[in-house]
Homo-oligomer: A and B are copies of this chain.
């Protein structure tokens, strides 16, 4: 487990430019499931010289190199998740917040009996909300 962003980029063959490290410092540590524009807004506060295209380029690069996964859970926006291990999600429609559900919290059975389907991956997508207090 390597928490140093520079080394994680190098480990995947990505040159750790200042821009990429600034983006990685946020998006590789967050639990927020941000969209590309949310990453842009957020990273600009600490790293103001940053174009929209660089954010998209970098996020797509991180996805290609296996540092991020893309999730499509709501209309009109892709969000990014630094947790690339299998897990499930709860989508809170009102707020737009996406919560992680640990893989081991849920058991899914029966998929293996669908012999006509070749399944690469799966997850449970729940809609609802997090109870307050």
With A106-B110, A117-B99, A119-B127: A72-B74 Cβ-Cβ less than 8 Å: yes
A75: B residues at CB distance < 8 A = 70, 72, 78
Any chain B CB within 8 A of the CB of A4?
Answer: no
Give a binary string over A69-83; 1 marks a CB under 8 Å from any B CB, 0 the rest: 010111100100000
CB-defined interface of A98-133 with B at 8 Å, one 1/0 digit per residue? Answer: 010100011111110111111111111111111100
- Indicate if the CB atoms of A128 and B123 lie closer than 8 Å: no
Contact A124 B111 (CB under 8 A): yes
In the bound complex, CA of A90 to CA of B50 (Å): 38
**Given A122-B124, A125-B125, A107–B106 Cβ distance below 8 Å?**
no
The chain B residue sitting closest to A119, CB to CB, is B128
Chain A 17-43: CB-based contact to B (< 8 A → 1; otherwise 0): 000000000000000000000000000
Which residues of B have CB within 8 Å of A106? 108-111
Contact B114 A122 (CB under 8 A): no
Q: A105-B114, A107-B108 are in contact. Are A128 and B124 (CB under 8 A)?
A: no
- Enumerate 9 A-B pairs (CB-CB under 8 Å) in ascending A order: A106-B110, A106-B111, A107-B107, A117-B130, A119-B126, A119-B127, A120-B126, A122-B126, A124-B125
| Chain B CB within 10 A, most for which of A70, A105, A108, A123 | A108
